[in-house]
Amino acid sequence: MASPSKKRLSPFFLLVTLLAILQRPRCGAQEVIPIGAIFEVGTDEMQAAFRHAVAQFNRMNESANGRRYELQAFVDIISTADTVKLSRLICTQLSRGIFAILGVVSADSFSTIHSYTNTYHMPFFSPWFPEKVPVPTSGLMDYALSLRPEYHQAILDVITYYGWKNIIYIYDSHDGLLRLQEIYQRIKPGSNNILIEMVRRVENSREAIQFLQTLESIDRYGRKFVVLDCSASLASEIIIQHVKDVHLGRRNYHYLLSGLVMDDRWDERVKEYGAINITGFRIIDTERPIVQQFFRTWEALDPAIYPGAGKPFIPAQAALVYDAVTLVADTFNRMLKKKPDTFRSYLQRNKGESLANASKALNCSRNAVWEQGDRIAKFARKQSDLEGLTGSLRFGEDGRRENFTLSVVEMTVNSDIVKVSLFSYWVCHSIGQWSEQTRFQTVPAKYVRLPATPEFEKNRTYIVTTYMEEPYMMMRKNEGGEELTGNDQFEGYCKDMMDLIAAKLGINYELRKVKDHRYGNENPNVTGGWDGIIGELVRRETDVALGAITITSARERVVDFSAPFMELGISIMIKKPMKQKPGFLSFMSPLATEVWAAVGAIFLAVSLVLFSVHRWSKSGWRSIRRSTSVKQYVNDFTLGNSLWFTLGSLLRAGNVTVPRYIPSSIQKCLLIIDVEADMAVAALTINSGRERVVDFSKPFMDLGISIMIKKPVKKFPGVFSFMDPLSKEVWMCMTFAYLGVSIVLFVVSRFGGAEWKIEDSHVAFVPVTETASAATDIDGQSTDNSSQMLTNHFSVKNSLWFALGAFMQQGSDISPRSISGRMVGAVWWFFTLILISSYTANLAAFLTVERMVTPINSAEDLARQTQVEYGTISSGTTLDFFKNSKFAVYSRMWEFMNSRKHVFVRTYDEGIRRVRQSKGKYALLIESPKNDYVNERYPCDTMKVGRNLDTKGFGVATPLGSPLREQLNLAVLSLKESDDLARLTNKWWYDRGECANADKQETTQNELSLSNVAGIFYILIGGLVLALAVAFFEFLYWSRVDAKKNKISLTEAMKAKARISITGEFSHLHHNSTVS
C-alpha cells in the first residue's frame, strides 16, 4: 500500500516545491528601473548614443550596497508634431510605470511633451531646449532639464574679439530667429554697437548662395561677416557652394558657425573648407581622458547595430544624449546610495515583485502624479562632480546648464600639414576658450609640423658650390708653409657660417668653386636655362649653393632658398672727399660778400647823415664854459681805464671813456668782432620656433633689436658751463688778447695828442638852448665871448664812432638830441639789432663743424646731375633692379647708364678701382654689405652715401624639393636668433677693419677749437700792429707841427711830446704844443 501512496504524493510534492521556489526572493537577481525615450525620425546617431549609454551603464553599474540594477528603456520614434498623437504616445509612456523620460524632439513637439511632464511631475531630460520655454506658474517646479548650455554671450564675445561691427545673420529655423532676438537683447548700448544689418532665413544652400550673390552685387570688395545658424550638414553645403561659386569672393568673407557644429566631422579632403575663413564652437574637449576613452569605445562599435558609430568622433547632439543618460543614471545612484529602499514602497503586488513594476502606473484620465518626481528632479539639479563628454554636468534651479566651457576654433588651410592633439583628422585649431566665469580667453595653437619627406641623410658629405668674393668666401693664405687641402683652403663669412650649420645638422660638406664664375642668370643657351651657381643647382650638379646669392623671384622659381642670412640693399659708393677745415676768415661765412659790402656802405652812410643833421640842427650844439686862470692837461686813458675799457668792450657793457682818434677806435672794432586673408600679414618676426609650424615668405622688412632706456632727467648746467662753447686754448688766447689790447690802447693813447684836453676845475657843459637868454642879446649876439664857445660833439669822427658803437652793440657817451637825429639813430639801431642777431645765430653752424663736402648725398642727387657718372656691374640683380624699376628716379638713372655703356663694369672690384681713380667723378651702385666692407679697407678713400635703394637678402640655395631645404632654413634662423651671424659680421667686416684710425672720432660737443676762430685773432693782431704804426706816425706828425709852430728842432719837440706821453707833465716853454 505504501508504494501506491507514495506515487500519488510525488506530483503534489513537486508542485509545492516549484511554487516555493518561485515565491522565494531571488537574492542575486538584477533589479530594473524603467525610463522612457522619445526620438524623432532621422536621429540615428543620437539613438545609437542613447542605446550605447544604457548598455554601458547596465554592464558597469552597481549600487553602493551591492545591489545591482539595470535601466530598462521604452523607446518611441515619432514622425509628427501632431498634438493628439503626441498626447496618446506620452500617456502610453506614463502607463508603463517609467521613472523619468528623455526626449530628443523638435521645438514643435517639445511644448506638448513639456506640458505633460510638468502636469504629471515626470522628470524630463532633454539634450537641448528650444529658445522659448514656457515658465511654470509661480511656485511650481519645472521638471525639465536641458543638457545644451546657452552661449549667446559667447557669440557676442567672439564677434567683439574679431572687431566685427556689421553682421549678416543667416538661419534655417524658428529657433534661429529666437536666438537672434536673444543676441539683440544682450547687445549693450554704446558707441561701439554691433549692427546686424542683414537677416535671412533659408531652407537650403541654394537660397543662401543667392542671398550672398545679391550682397556681392551691392558691395563687391567689402568685408562681410556672416553668422550662420544652421545644422552642420547645411553649413557644410553652404560653404562648399560658396567656394565653388565664381561670383563670390572668398577672403573677404568670414563665417561664424553659431551652432555646436564644429564637433561634427569636417572632412579634410574637402579643400573648400580651407579656402574661406570659418570660426565656430566645440563643446567636446578631445584632450580629456574621459573623452579619449569614449572615442576608443565608440570607434569599436559595429555601425550596423549602432548607426553613426564606428568613427573616432561624435557630434555634439549625440554627445549631449549620452550625457543625458549619464545624468539620469547618476541621479538614481545618488538617490539609492542615500536611501536604498527609496522605491520599495511603490511595489504593486507583493514583496517579491521586481522594481520593474514598483512604480504605480499613471493614467492620463486621472489627476494622479508621480510621487517621486519631485525628488528625482531635485537630485538631478543638485551640485555634483559628475563629468560627461561635454564637461561638468551642473544645473541651475531653472534646469539650465551651468559652469561649462566652449572651445573657439578656426579652420586651417591644409589639413595634411598640421594636426591637433592626438587626432590628425581634425582640420581646425583652437584659438580660445569661453566659459561663464572667465568669458573669452585666447589659447596658443597646438600645431605640430609633419616631418619633411624625404628625410635628409645625416653623416653624408654634401657638395657645396660657392662663389669667390671678399669677405664671403676667399682663398686662405698659406702663412705657415703647410699645404692646405679640402675645406681648409677657404675662409670667410660664408665658410664660418657653413661650419656652424654643418655642426648643427650633423652633416659633412665639401666646398667647390662655381665653374663659370657667375652667380647665375637666365641663359637659354645652357642646359636648364640658367648659368652660374644657380644653373648648377637646376641641373642638380651640387647639393647646396653658398655665397652672396641674392634671393629674387626669378631664382625662387627654379631653386629653393633658406631664410635670408643677411639683409642688404643697393647703395652708392663714392670717393671720400677731403675734409675742409674752416679758413681763418670762416667767421665771415654766415653772411655773403655783398652783405658785408652793404653793411660797410650803410655804416658810412648813416654816419654821414648823422653828422649832417647834427650840424644843421640847433639841438646838436652845446656851450663849454672854461676858466682861463689855470690850465692842466689830463689823459682819461690811464692804465686802469685802458684795462676797464677793454673789459667793458669784451663783456658788451660799454664804457664812458671814449677814444677820439683813429688807432684806438680800430682796436675796439677788432676786439668786438672776436666774440583677412590666405596669409598672415603683420609685424610677424620669423624665428625657428614659428618656422617649424608655419611657412614664411621671404622678409618684407628688415629689423633688429634696439635699446630703450628711461629718458634721463635734464642736467642743469654747471657753474662754469658758460665756458663750454669755447675750448681752453681759445679762452687763454682771448685773455692774452684782452691784456695786449689794453696795453697797446694805453700806449697809443699816451702818444696820441687827440686824447689830451685842457680843463679847469670849473668846466661845465651847458647846452646852448638852455642859456640862450643869458648868453645872447635880443639881436642874437653873444654877451660873454670870453667864457663861452660853441662846440658840436658830432664831428665826422664822433659820428662814425657813434654808428660803429651802435653796430657793435656797445653804445656811446654821445647821443643825438634832435628829432631827425633820433630818427636816424632809431632806424639804425633796429637795423643793427636784426643783422647782428641773425649773424650770431648763423655763426655757430659755420664755426663748429668741419664739413666733408660731398658732391652726392642720395640717388636723387645722382639722377639730377651729369657731372658725376655712375654705374654698376653689367649683369646681375642690381642691373635688373634699375632696368625693371617703375620709380621715376631709378628709371631716369637707368636711362643715363644705358646711354653711356662705359659706366658699366664687369666686376665690383673693377668698379671700386674706378671709384678710387676717378677723383670724385664716378659713383658705383653696389650692394650695401660690399660697400661697408670696402669702406673699412685701406686706403680708406671710399664712403657710402644715402640710404639703401632697395631691400633684399642673401640666402643659402638648394635644388627644388631638396630634403636639406627645411633643415637649412631652421639652422639659419637659429643662428640669427643666437647672434652667431651678427658675430660673424663683426668679425669679417669691422674687427679686421683697416680704417679704425683713419678718421678721428668727433667729439660729443661741438666746441670751438683754435682753428675755428684763428682768423679773428689774426685780424686782431694785425689791427693792433696797425694801431701802433699809426700812433708812431701820428707822434712824428704832431712833433713836426709843434716844432714848426714853436720854432724849435724836431728832436726837442719829440722829447717834449715823449715827456708828456710818459709822465703827463709839460714844459711851460712849450705850452703851445698841440695836445688837443
Residues 598 and 654 in one domain: yes
Q: Which of 819, 844, 869 is a domain's end point? A: 844
C-alpha dihedral (104, 106, 107, 110), degrees to nearest 10: -40
Grade residue 14 by pLDDT with cuts at 50, 70 and 90. very low
With CA atoms as reference, report the closest residue to 240 among 195, 274, 194, 211: 274
Q: Which of 991, 1011, 1040 is a domain's end point? A: 991
β-pair partners for 568:
952
- Strands (DSSP E) contained in 484-549 are 490-491, 508-513, 544-546
Proportion of the chain above pLDDT 70, given as a percent:
59
Instruction: Give the DSSP letter string of 392-408.
Output: E-EE-TTS-EES-EEEE
Grade residue 496 by pLDDT with cuts at 50, 70 and 90. very high
Q: Is pLDDT at 792 greater than 70 in this prediction?
A: no
* pLDDT tens digit sequence for 173-196: 888 888 888 888 887 766 467 888
Nearest-angstrom CA–CA distance, 531 and 545: 13
Q: Map grid coordinates 695786449 to a residue.
A: 740
Contact indicator for 924, 871 with CB cutoff of 8 Å: yes
- Between strands 508-513 and 566-568, the pairing is unpaired
Cα 721–722–725 angle (5° rounding)?
95
Contacts of 539 (CB under 8 A, 6+ apart): 527, 528
Q: Exposed (0-12), middle (13-18) or buried (19+): which is 606, by Cβ within 10 Å?
A: buried
3-state secondary structure 852-880: CCCCCCCHHHHHCCCCCEEECECCCHHHH
* pLDDT tens digit sequence for 429-477: 455 565 655 665 655 444 333 333 446 677 788 999 999 988 999 998 8
Grade residue 617 by pLDDT with cuts at 50, 70 and 90. very low
Nearest-angstrom CA–CA distance, 878 and 949: 10
Structure-block grid coordinates of residue 168? 549678416
Residue 1023 lies in a domain: no
Q: Map grid coordinates 660833439 to a residue.
A: 793
Write down the pLDDT at residue 512. Answer: 93
Residues 779 and 904 in one domain: no
Taking the CB of residue 586, how many other CB atoms lie within 10 A of it?
A: 19
Write down the pLDDT at residue 521. Answer: 86
Structure-block grid coordinates of residue 524? 637659354
With CA atoms as reference, report the closest residue to 406 among 393, 420, 390: 390
Mean pLDDT of 150-156: 85
Write down the pLDDT at residue 275. Answer: 62
Nearest-angstrom CA–CA distance, 542 and 522: 18
Residues 384 and 408 in one domain: no
Q: Is pLDDT at 829 greater than 70 in this prediction?
A: no
Structure-block grid coordinates of residue 865? 646731375
* pLDDT tens digit sequence for 509-554: 999 999 988 888 888 888 778 899 999 998 888 999 999 998 888 8
Residues 650 and 765 in one domain: yes
- For 811-834, letters b (16+ CB in 10 Å) and e give bbebebbbebbeebbeebeebbee
Contacts of 751 (CB under 8 A, 6+ apart): 1031, 1032, 1034, 1035, 1057, 1058, 1061
Structural domains counted in the chain: 5
Distance of CA 800 to the CA centre of its chain: 65
With CA atoms as reference, report the closest residue to 641 among 745, 735, 734: 745
Write down the pLDDT at residue 346. Answer: 53
Contacts of 519 (CB under 8 A, 6+ apart): 467, 532, 533, 534, 547, 548, 549, 550, 876
- Between strands 144-146 and 124-126, the pairing is parallel
Share the mean pLDDT of the chain: 72
Candidate ranges 347-361, 582-596, 793-807, 841-855; pick with highest mean pLDDT? 582-596
Q: State the alpha helices, DSSP H only, in 506-592.
A: 532-538, 553-556
- For 465-499, letters b (16+ CB in 10 Å) and e give bbbebbbbbbeeeeeeeeeeeebeebbbbbbbbbe
Residue 668 lies in a domain: yes
Mean pLDDT of 848-857: 64
Grade residue 954 by pLDDT with cuts at 50, 70 and 90. confident
Write down the pLDDT at residue 720. Answer: 52
Q: Is pLDDT at 493 greater than 90 in this prediction?
A: yes
Q: State the alpha helices, DSSP H only, in 918-1011.
A: 928-935, 964-977, 980-985
* pLDDT tens digit sequence for 224-282: 899 998 888 888 888 888 877 767 776 678 889 888 877 776 655 455 566 677 888 88
Cα 685–691–696 angle (5° rounding)?
65
Residue 840 lies in a domain: yes
Grade residue 814 by pLDDT with cuts at 50, 70 and 90. low
* Domain of residue 383, residue span: 31-148+306-388
Is the model more confident about 204 or about 772? 204
Write down the pLDDT at residue 966. Answer: 86
With CA atoms as reference, report the closest residue to 160 among 199, 131, 186, 198: 186
DSSP code, position 200: E
| Cα R_g (the chain), whole angstroms | 54
Residues 517 and 553 in one domain: yes
* pLDDT tens digit sequence for 81-107: 778 888 888 898 888 888 999 988 877
Contact indicator for 544, 561 with CB cutoff of 8 Å: no
Residues 262 and 163 in one domain: yes
Taking the CB of residue 793, how many other CB atoms lie within 10 A of it?
A: 18
Residues 328 and 191 in one domain: no
Mean pLDDT of 306-327: 88
Residue 178 lies in a domain: yes
Write down the pLDDT at residue 354. Answer: 43
Is the model more confident about 69 or about 1044? 1044
3-state secondary structure 902-920: HHCECCHHHHHHHHHHCCC
What is the model's pTM? 0.45
* pLDDT tens digit sequence for 375-411: 888 888 886 778 888 888 888 777 778 888 888 887 7
Mean pLDDT of 1044-1056: 85
Mean pLDDT of 290-315: 87
Residue 67 lies in a domain: yes
Residues 126 and 253 in one domain: no
DSSP code, position 581: P
Residues 830 and 866 in one domain: no
Residues 85 and 133 in one domain: yes
Contact indicator for 390, 323 with CB cutoff of 8 Å: yes
Residue 660 lies in a domain: yes
Write down the pLDDT at residue 826. Answer: 58
Specify the CATH number for the domain of residue 275.
3.40.50.2300
Residue 1007 lies in a domain: no
Residue 4 lies in a domain: no
Nearest-angstrom CA–CA distance, 510 and 401: 68
Least confident of 51-60, 147-156, 333-342, 816-825: 816-825
Write down the pLDDT at residue 662. Answer: 42
Write down the pLDDT at residue 146. Answer: 84
Nearest-angstrom CA–CA distance, 43 and 53: 15
Contacts of 324 (CB under 8 A, 6+ apart): 50, 102, 125, 126, 127, 147
Encoded amino acid at 897, one letter = M
Q: Which of 972, 991, 1010 is a domain's end point? A: 991
Rounded to 10°, the helix 174-186/152-162 angle is 60
Is the model more confident about 425 or about 855? 855
DSSP code, position 568: E
Mean pLDDT of 25-54: 80
Residues 492 and 540 in one domain: yes
Residues 641 and 783 in one domain: yes
Nearest-angstrom CA–CA distance, 247 and 32: 61
* pLDDT tens digit sequence for 937-946: 888 888 888 8
Grade residue 764 by pLDDT with cuts at 50, 70 and 90. very low
Instruction: Give the DSSP letter string of 752-819.
Output: -GGGEEEE-TT-EEEEGGGSHHHHB-TTS-BS-TTT--EEES--HHHHHHHHHHHHTT---S----SH
Write down the pLDDT at residue 695. Answer: 67
Write down the pLDDT at residue 834. Answer: 60
Nearest-angstrom CA–CA distance, 999 and 1051: 63
Q: Is pLDDT at 817 greater than 80 in this prediction?
A: no
Specify the CATH number for the domain of residue 879.
3.40.190.10
